[in-house]
Amino acid sequence: MDDILKLKGIDKIYGDKVKTQVLFNVDLNFEKSSFNSIIGASGSGKSTLMNIMGTLDKPTNGDVIIGGTNTISLNRDEMAELRNETIGFIFQFHYLLPEFSVLENVLMPYRIKHGRVDKETMERAKYLIDMVELTKVKNNLSTDISGGQQQRAAIARALINNPDIILADEPTGNLDSETTDTVYKLLREINDEFKSTFIVITHDKKVAEKGDRIIEITDGKISTDIRKYVR
């Protein structure tokens, strides 16, 4: 099967004087439409790896190849465009814009690319908002909804441009276990419906086991990589 995202020999070293190497020669390929979990102890380098995958951070060495494009050859604006079109982010914190309503936040990645919103996209936004069960509060300011609702709004926002890859860094870190279950069920449903590739960081083994593949990182290296049988 095609690999949508490839990491080749990724090193990450922080600091100029005191150097801390956080990632050591990481090679990873992700199949299209797969649902991947990344686990590991706190400080093992999960977030660092994810930020590099999402082109938010640059590796010290190595290549990040997204959909066939080596990101090393891109300038900042081209990188921004690639991010906008192919990657949806869901962070531990929702990072919604407080000045805008839920609906406006969901539409934001689309507007960054196209400027204005056509009817079709508006329908899609409403459909996504409906899917994450926020229809009732869609016109609320993003600060005027609960934490779980904010996280779900961020999920809808990550999906609006129909990205090939969705990167989620502990998307349920701030939520209670019941809400956590709903959110993961939702992510799985979206994976089934839109065939987007999911890479989800979690420290919860039980949650991780719901993925097709579990990658464990220990001290900046891949220590286990388990694929479940293909669905």
Chain residues that interact with ligand ATP, rule: CB under 6 A: 14-15, 20, 22, 40, 42-48, 203
Q: Which of 76, 120, 178, 229 binds another protein (CB under 8 A)?
A: 76
Measured in Å, how far apart are the chain's first and last C-alpha atoms? 13
Select 103 or 214, whichever has its Cβ closest to another protein.
Answer: 103
Long-range contacts, stretch 183-192, CB < 8 angstroms, 24+ apart: 183/148, 183/151, 183/152, 183/155, 184/210, 186/131, 186/132, 186/152, 186/155, 187/35, 187/155, 188/35, 189/131, 190/131, 190/155, 190/159, 190/166, 191/33, 191/35
**Does 47 help bind Mg ion (rule: CB under 5 A)?**
yes
44 binds Mg ion (CB under 5 A): no
- Beta carbon of residue 202, minimum distance to ligand ATP (angstroms, whole number): 9
Cβ nearer to another protein, comparing 132 with 214: 132
16 binds another protein (CB under 8 A): no
Q: What are phi and psi of 223, to 5 degrees?
A: -100, -35
Q: In the bound complex, what is the minimum distance in angstroms from residue 228's beta carbon to another protein? A: 30
Residues that bind Mg ion (CB under 5 A): 47
